[in-house]
Chains A and B, each alone.
Chain A
Amino acid sequence: MAELLFWPALLAYGEAAFAYAGNARRPGLAGHAGTWGVRLGWLAQTSLLVVQAVSADGFPWDTWAGSLNLFVWLVVGAYLIWGCRARYRLLGLAVMPLAAALLVAARVGGGTAGHVRSRYPDVFLVLHVGLVLAAFAGFTLAASLSALYLWQERRLKGRRPAALLGRAPALATLDRIAAKTVLVALPALTAGIVAGFVRLRSEGGGFDALMAVTLLTWLVYAAFLLVRFELGWRGRRAAYLLLAGFALVVVARLGLPLTHFS
């Protein structure tokens, strides 16, 4: 059953990626088709996750590939909150090909199969992984918004008239939504880290490189919120800081298979 649901999800995400590419060339119906692709794909993937959760013995996404599957769902879900608006379709061009590619990677690693046996008996570990993944999904979106901001800002600074004809969101809007996304994601990361430490204390275990990177990531995003809301950092500087934080997220995501899932 889980296998059957994987294909519609992948097909819809793939369709959305192509449709958004078409929409970038000629805005209109292709954009609507892309948005429906995101919606239907996310519903199919939600069904896939539900089937996995029902049929699994424990937490079904405790492998690297499984967590990737959950991560994709979280990223697309977060994008869906405001990504269906016409002006954010340009962002879909970055998010949806990535989502489709990561979903394929999750399947290759066996993360989309049903009837998996969990190695996570501890509720704190499940909370830790779930919350950290949700936070990382938020940071991924914030990084996409920052990249779009820098691209749009460059066009406006370059006084290229075509910048006006595009349908990209306004600079101030991109800046504001990126900050709000971090404002939601950072508490999730904080709670995830706390859950991880509680589990570490009760079960025992050492401090590893992944934990160090995760803590560093937390520090960068906490610093971002501080300078954004206290010192008024906006625009280019804030966007670069968010991209730097995302680089750490990538390291942490790549670091996971080496430590947690070995």
Chain B
Amino acid sequence: MTLLLVGLSHRVAPVELRERVALAGERAADLVRALAGESGEAVCLSTCNRTELYVVGPDAEERAVGALAGIAALGEDDLRGVAYRLDDEAAALHLFRVAAGLDSMVPGEGEILGQVRSAYEAGVTGPLLDRLFRQALHAGKRVRSQTAIGESPASVPSAAAALAEQLFGELAGCSVLLVGAGKIGELAARAVAARGARLALVANRSPEKAADVARRFGAEPISLDGLAAALAYVDVVVSSTSAPGYVLERDAVTRALAARKGRPLFLIDIAVPRDLDPAIHDLDGCYLYDIDDLEAVVADSLVGRLKEASRAEAIVVDEAEGFREWLASRGVVPEIASLRARAEEIRAGELDRARGTLARLSERERLAVESLTSQIVNKLLHLPTVRMKEAAAGAEGASYAHTVRHLFGLGEEER
């Protein structure tokens, strides 16, 4: 049975088309149930960057293309013009690259592995897709543990959070002060908070806005006048106001440092024009990064990710080769099953013929004879079974299967 993949991703389809085929939750589950039918298998992987259908079963291509075209409100021929279609090993290699984050917009992004897992868990899987997705998850984990592709930050907020971790280690126990209500500032504060820090204070020129943002984060609102005093209690300051000048000067921070008893202070200034006096960075124990610094970190990080991508590709190819061998070994499964059935038939027949003689034995002795004959059959067939699977992974698999059929007369019973 063939594995088929039909999909659309950010590489081939614009966002207008991708959003039409994006399937969440129950819709994806309904689709895979319909595609799998009675005896097939199907998984739908749908994220903001891709919608891919992995299908096993009769007429897989027609059904998958038809389903996707229906969702996208396109004709089947139009869909075939943009969608990619991959079979067997090529489909597996593609999924392994996806799980490893190598097909993502930002190479090595980690969210995709969880999305592949969710798709697998929501899918209708049998022997083939079960093996394929488990191996894809394994490939994704291997890439993350054996390369540094996912270690560096890929966005300004995650760069801010990673820098805070470089300073404090575990962020649990650290408190954050958010100054202003800028979108990126809020995202940066969220990124730091997502790693365990607590957003404790929100300062804004407008008290109403400060109270609104503070309520959403469970923080305490303060006025901009209280900023310098608040520095004694927080570890991270994220600032993104639209103020024309500095909202925090070096002298104010110098005075606050006395109360900090040597605890370092990490400041992120995402505003343009800048909110925080750059001279703050010169103070002992103060680390100030502006938007240019953070963007430089992201740019450098992306270069590092691309360097790691070649190592990740090698891991993915290795995993795909393992899957190919497993897939090929499935080609000789009917011969192996027939061979074992034939051996079992002979064993049962011989035991039946000797029934009269065996009747004189005790129950325990009869069971011993049965066990002995089973063991002889299993041991005799073990090596041929292993060799056939090995051969199936190579080019001579078909000739091996033919030879076994010929030597043991498999499939000739009816003649």
Contacts and interface: CB of A to CB of B under 8 A. Distances in A.
A45 to B, nearest CB: 31
Contact of B148 (A161, A165, A234): A165
A22 interface: no
B297 A171 contact: no
Contacts of A173: 169
B167 A170 contact: yes
Interface in A216-239: 231-238
B296 A236 contact: no
B287 A156 contact: yes
A201 interface: no
Interface string B268-293: 00000000000001001101010001
Given A161-B296, A164-B162, A234-B262, A169 B169 contact: yes
A171 B162 contact: no
Interface string A155-169: 011010111110111
A255 interface: no
A170 B162 contact: no
Contacts of A156: 163, 166-167, 287
A164 B166 contact: yes
Interface residues of B, number: 31
B123 to A, nearest CB: 33
A164 B264 contact: no
B313 interface: no
Nearest to A238: B262
A172 interface: yes
A97 interface: no
Contact of B163 (A27, A157, A164, A235): A164
A257 interface: no
Contacts of A162: 300
Contacts of B153: 164
A164 B287 contact: no
A159 B264 contact: no
Given A170-B167, A170-B169, A157 B300 contact: no
A234 B285 contact: yes
Interface residues of A, number: 27
A60 to B, nearest CB: 41
B263 to A, nearest CB: 7
Main secondary structure of the interface of A (DSSP, over half): helix
B175 interface: no
B166 A163 contact: yes
Contacts of A235: 262, 264, 284-285
Contact of B151 (A163, A165, A231): A165
Contact of A165 (B261, B293, B300): B300
Nearest to B145: A28
A172 B167 contact: yes
Nearest to B171: A170
Given A162-B300, A171-B264, A236 B284 contact: yes
A27 B148 contact: yes
B301 A237 contact: no
A54 B148 CA distance: 47
B121 interface: no
Contacts of A169: 169
B43 interface: no
A164 B284 contact: no
B254 interface: no
B168 interface: yes
B320 to A, nearest CB: 21
B152 interface: yes
A234 B264 CA distance: 8
Contacts of B162: 164
B146 interface: yes
B147 interface: yes
B38 to A, nearest CB: 47
A151 to B, nearest CB: 13
Interface string A124-164: 00000000000000000000000000001000110101111
A237 B287 CA distance: 16
A157 B289 CA distance: 9
A28 B169 contact: no
B169 A164 contact: no
Interface string A92-107: 0000000000000000
A152 B152 CA distance: 17
A161 B166 contact: no
Task: Tell me which of A29, A161, A163 has the highest count of chain B C-beta atoms within 10 A of its own C-beta.
Answer: A161
Given A163-B166, A164-B166, A157 B281 contact: yes
B265 to A, nearest CB: 11
B92 to A, nearest CB: 25
A173 B168 CA distance: 7
B304 A232 contact: no
A157 B169 CA distance: 17
A165 B264 contact: no
Contact of A159 (B285, B289, B304): B289
Contacts of A168: 166
21 contacts: A28-B148, A156-B163, A156-B167, A159-B281, A164-B163, A164-B297, A167-B151, A170-B167, A170-B168, A171-B166, A171-B264, A172-B168, A173-B169, A232-B260, A232-B261, A232-B262, A234-B262, A234-B264, A235-B262, A236-B284, A237-B262
Given A156-B166, A159-B281, A172-B168, 20 more contacts: A156-B167, A159-B289, A161-B293, A161-B300, A164-B297, A164-B300, A165-B148, A165-B304, A167-B151, A168-B166, A170-B169, A171-B166, A171-B167, A172-B264, A233-B262, A234-B261, A235-B262, A235-B264, A235-B284, A235-B285
